[in-house]
Each structure stands twice: as structure tokens, then as C-alpha cells.
């Protein structure tokens, strides 16, 4: 079957909608480079659309009725939004699920050191990356530092106007004869992904005003400046103390992420694509969010769950394997007057879900990695993956034929341009999503999302048309799936 190019079907009004959606999405990507930042943006958007905190409703003892809109965040890293439908929740929900974490570098607990007159931060990479892609590009630092007194300091260095940026060095080509003989996975190792943060030493007495220094001490200033002990590291610590009131010890309770610096930008002379960090999987998170925010008085309760930790196995308290999803649905059913353990199990088993995550777009530069008849293409709409997994569908949900047919009907009703695909040649590799986890409840689940070039690279490419069709598809699913 031939792929339909979504761009060919747009009238002027739709082209304007594509651009408006893309501008909002780029802003979301540029501001939300960590899962915590994404949750904050989701909470703000939900509040503006009339959603109220589920936890506040529980505290006030208020119930839920059809048409009500609530959201619940957890540990500032996962969030669920719900619009209560006219049908009882025990008869099933329509659920959109995506993840808001992305591959990156995390600072270690004891990261700061000095070597060769350079201050560096030691990192541990998060998720699947090609390590050589992270060197010699501008980087930013986002995250939080939790102090012993209970306060939390937010860090965002590199993405604000006038900020400095950071970098990881690479060996100059003139001395790279041995390095260039290595396999790509060994050219840069994990222990070499250390971030350069300073080069100027701090004299031991630099913070003292000149008029408070003894005469002998002033006479030794120049000598001290020439050879301070760990002076560059101490200068970095002094700056952290001055601007953020944090100490070296506070790194022990910090979550600081090193991410590519810079905003999402239009890509191509025709501005048809978006080049950005974090398309995987914030492109599906954003379009799912937009769909649930615009849902009004649905027949079936609509949910959108955005989780953390997918890139490392969906583990932990904020990953899909946690009970946050199940517990929150139980709380919603309780406020709606429906909760029993049996009703909860019935609701989950009767639900339908789109497990949204990105897919690999056909890349003509690496055509041999794809089986072209079953590949996704940029600009050809929302992608459905009946199965993901690797080598023999290992780790795959593998949606049923009947559910795939139901999804096709919904997409046709919503006038959504879509395509089906699998992730590359059968024996070459593969990947997975959160689909198999909610499928354990017995609900119908299929993988869907947006095709990307450069997936898991610091900068990924998505088609604006595909972003728009994903948004349309998720809206149609919430409104029409039976």
C-alpha cells in the first residue's frame, strides 16, 4: 500500500492550524526539558482549562460528576488527567499514555572535580544514547537540589538569555589515529562524558575585601593566585554558593540533568519539520495533553497519563510499573461513587488505550536498516505499531486484529491520516513502550505515535504534519472509541 502524504490534503485553514499547533509545541519542548518541568507545564495548562487537583477534591470531600475535570501529579514526575464521562467508569475508559522522560546525562552524587586546571562534572547517561553524539555540542543544566533544611533549589543554567553553556570535549583529529580505529560504541565511553564547567582558579583570599587583608597577606596574593590548590573547583563552588546557596555536599541530594542547550526550531527551507531535544516522547505527551484538555462531556471517561522512567524500563515510583496509575483511578472511582475492588478491575479490563511513543522514520541515508513496505515515513501521519519488541516480538504487546480494526474505524471517523509500521528490519534491533504494562489488566492497547529521524540523538526531527495528525488522532480516540 502507498503512504498518504498528509500535507497534500490540507486547505489553508488546516495549514494555519498546523503552524499554530507547532508553535505551541515548540514552546512546550523549549520550556520542558526535564520530567519535572513537563509536569509543571501540564499543571499550568490543566488549570487554565478548568481542571482541578484531584488531591484537593479528596481533601475537601467533594464528589465527581460527568463532565468534571481533574488532574493528579505524583512526585512532580508523573501526572494523570481525567474528564469524567456520562457512562459509569466501571464500563471502561479511553486512555492516552505517553512518557515525559528523555535520554540525557545525569550528574553523579559526587560529580565535581578538577584535573589539569579544568573543573568538570562526572555524569551517568540515562537511557539509550550514542555517546559520541554528546561531545562538542552546547549543553545546559536543568534540575533541582534538595537541601537538608527541606528547601528545594531549582537549577536552569544555559537556556536563559545571557547564560553560559557547558560542553564535553573530544580528542582533536590530529591525535585521533588510535581513537578512529575503535568501534563507534567505544569511541567515547561513559566515563568520558564529563562536563566542563570552569577554568578560572579562585585565589584562597579572593572573597576578602582588599582593605581587610593584612599587609603580609596582600603581598602573597599574587603567589596564591598563581598556584591555588583546586582553585578552579573552588571557584565553581563559590559561584554555586553565591547564586544558588548550595554547597558541594548538596550534590548528594540533587537531581541535575545535562541536556542539549537551545530551543526547538523549525527545520528545512520549507519549515515543514521541527528540530528539537526531547521529541521522544514529549511529542506524544504534548499531543495527548492537548487532546484531553479539549475533551468536553465525553460518553466514556477520558484519561491521559504521562509517566517517567520509560527510557530505563518504566521502573520506580513514577514509572508505568508503579501503582500510581491504578491507585489514582481508584481514587477517581471513589469520588464518583463507584469504587469497589471488583469495579476497579472491571474498569481497567474494559478500557481501551493508545500507548503513545515515537517510531523510527525511514531515513534514505540508512535505507538498509528498514523494511520499506513496513516503515513509517515523515509527513505521512500518525503511526500505529501493532507490535514493537525485538527479534521475535520479544517484549511486545502485539495488539489484537479486532482492536486494530476498531482503531481504524475511529481514525476514519476523525479524518486522521495514519500509517502502520514496525521498528526497522526484523533481525536488526527493536524497541518497546509502556503498552505491555497496562495490557496486563486485560485492556485493549496498541502502540501509536509520531515518526522521528535521529531518534535518541540530542537533536531529533519530527514533521509538523505528523504532530498535527497525532493531535487529531488522539482527539478522535477520546471522543469515538467504543
User: Average of pLDDT values for 173-193?
Assistant: 95
| pLDDT bucket at 210, cuts 50 / 70 / 90 | very low
pLDDT of residue 209: 44
Percentage with pLDDT > 90 across the chain:
86
Do residues 478 and 295 lie in contact, with contact meaning Cβ atoms separated by under 8 Å? Answer: yes
Tell me, what's the pLDDT at 388?
Answer: 79
**Percent share of the chain, pLDDT over 70:** 94
pLDDT confidence of residue 206: 58
User: Is residue 133 scored above 50 in pLDDT?
Assistant: yes
Q: What is the pLDDT of residues 31-86, one digit of tens each?
A: 999 999 999 999 999 999 999 999 999 999 999 999 999 999 999 999 999 999 99
Q: Which CATH architecture has domain 6-102+277-480?
A: 3-Layer(aba) Sandwich (3.40)
What pLDDT shows up at residue 212? Answer: 47
Q: Provide the pLDDT for residue 208.
A: 44
Q: What is the pLDDT of residue 205?
A: 59
pLDDT at 384: 94
pLDDT higher than 50, residue 157: yes
In the prediction, which pLDDT does 223 show?
Answer: 52
pLDDT category, 220, cuts 50, 70, 90?
low
Parallel, antiparallel, or unpaired for β 254-260 and 152-157?
A: unpaired
Q: Which of 129-133, 163-167, 200-204, 263-267 has the lowest mean pLDDT?
A: 200-204
pLDDT of residue 389: 73
Residue with the larger pLDDT of the pair 385 and 292: 292
User: What average pLDDT does the segment 16-42 reach?
Assistant: 98
Question: Distance between CA 478 and CA 94 in Å, rounded?
Answer: 6
Which residue intervals of the chain bear CATH 2.30.250.10? 104-260
pLDDT of residue 425: 79
Please write the tens of the pLDDT for every residue from 294-336: 999 999 999 999 999 999 999 999 999 999 999 999 999 999 9
Q: Which of 79, 81, 83, 82 is nearest to 100 (CA)?
A: 79
Mean pLDDT score across all residues of the chain: 93
Q: What fold does the segment set 104-260 form as a domain?
A: Aminopeptidase i, Domain 2 (2.30.250)
Q: Where in the chain are all domains bearing CATH 3.40.630.10?
A: 6-102+277-480
Residue 61: predicted pLDDT: 93
Going by pLDDT thresholds of 50, 70 and 90, the confidence category of residue 263 is very high
End-to-end CA distance of the chain: 27
pLDDT digit string, tens, across residues 343-379? 999 999 999 999 999 999 999 999 999 989 999 999 9
Reported pTM: 0.93
- Write the DSSP string, 244-289: H---GGGGGGEEEEEEE-S--EEESTT--EEEES-HHHHHHHHHHH
Amino acid at each position: 500500500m502507498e503512504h498518504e502524504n498528509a500535507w497534500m490534503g490540507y486547505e489553508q485553514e488546516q495549514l494555519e492550524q498546523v503552524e499554530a499547533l507547532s508553535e505551541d509545541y515548540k514552546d512546550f519542548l523549549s520550556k520542558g526539558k526535564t520530567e519535572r518541568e513537563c509536569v509543571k507545564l501540564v499543571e499550568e495548562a490543566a488549570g487554565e482549562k478548568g481542571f482541578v487537583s484531584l488531591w484537593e477534591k479528596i481533601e475537601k470531600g467533594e464528589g465527581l460528576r460527568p463532565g468534571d475535570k481533574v488532574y493528579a501529579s505524583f512526585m512532580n514526575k508523573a501526572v494523570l488527567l481525567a474528564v469524567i464521562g456520562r457512562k459509569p467508569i466501571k464500563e471502561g475508559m479511553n486512555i492516552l499514555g505517553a512518557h515525559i522522560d528523555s535520554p540525557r546525562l545525569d550528574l553523579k552524587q559526587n560529580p565535581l572535580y578538577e584535573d589539569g586546571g579544568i573543573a568538570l562534572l562526572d555524569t551517568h547517561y540515562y537511557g539509550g544514547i550514542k555517546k559520541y553524539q554528546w561531545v562538542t555540542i552546547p549543553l545546559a543544566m536543568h534540575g533541582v537540589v534538595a537541601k537538608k533544611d527541606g528547601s528545594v533549589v531549582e537549577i536552569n543554567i544555559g537556556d536563559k538569555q545571557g547564560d553560559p553553556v557547558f560542553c564535553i570535549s573530544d580528542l582533536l583529529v590530529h591525535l585521533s589515529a588510535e581513537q578512529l580505529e575503535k568501534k563507534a560504541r567505544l569511541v567515547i565511553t561513559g566515563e568520558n562524558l564529563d562536563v566542563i564547567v570552569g577554568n578560572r582558579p579562585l585565589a584562597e583570599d579572593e572573597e576578602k575585601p582588599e582593605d581587610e587583608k593584612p599587609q603580609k597577606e596582600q603581598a602573597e596574593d599574587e603567589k596564591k593566585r598563581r598556584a591555588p590548590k583546586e582553585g578552579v573547583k573552588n571557584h565553581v563552588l563559590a559561584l554555586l554558593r553565591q547564586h544558588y546557596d548550595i554547597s558541594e555536599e548538596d550534590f548528594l541530594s540533587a537531581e541535575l540533568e545535562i541536556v542539549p542547550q537551545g530551543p526547538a526550531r523549525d527545520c528545512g527551507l520549507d519549515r515543514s519539520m521541527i528540530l528539537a531535544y526531547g521529541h521522544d516522547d514529549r511529542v506524544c505527551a504534548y499531543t495527548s495533553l492537548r487532546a484531553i484538555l479539549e475533551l468536553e462531556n465525553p460518553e466514556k471517561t477520558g484519561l491521559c497519563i504521562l509517566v517517567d522512567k520509560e527510557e530505563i524500563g518504566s521502573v520506580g515510583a513514577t514509572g508505568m510499573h508503579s501503582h500510581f496509575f491504578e491507585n489514582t483511578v481508584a481514587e477517581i472511582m471513589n469520588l464518583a461513587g463507584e469504587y469497589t475492588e471488583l469495579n476497579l478491575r472491571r474498569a481497567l479490563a474494559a478500557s481501551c488505550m493508545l500507548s503513545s511513543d515515537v517510531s523510527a522514520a525511514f531515513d534514505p541515508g540508512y535505507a538498509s536498516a528498514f523494511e520499506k513496505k513496513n516503515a513509517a515515513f515523515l509527513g505521512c501521519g500518525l503511526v500505529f505499531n501493532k507490535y514493537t519488541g525485538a527479534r521475535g516480538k520479544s517484549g511486545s504487546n502485539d495488539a489484537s486484529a479486532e482492536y486494530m480494526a476498531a482503531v481504524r474505524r475511529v481514525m476514519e471517523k476523525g479524518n486522521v491520516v495514519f500509517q502502520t509500521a514496525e521498528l526497522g528490519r526484523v533481525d536488526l534491533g527493536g524497541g518497546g513502550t509502556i503498552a505491555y504494562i497496562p495490557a496486563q489488566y486485560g485492556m485493549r492497547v496498541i502502540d501509536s505515535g509520531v515518526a522521528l529521524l535521529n531518534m535518541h540523538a540530542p537533536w531529533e526531527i519530527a514533521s509538523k504534519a505528523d504532530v498535527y495528525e497525532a493531535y487529531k488522532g488522539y482527539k478522535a480516540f477520546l471522543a469515538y472509541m467504543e
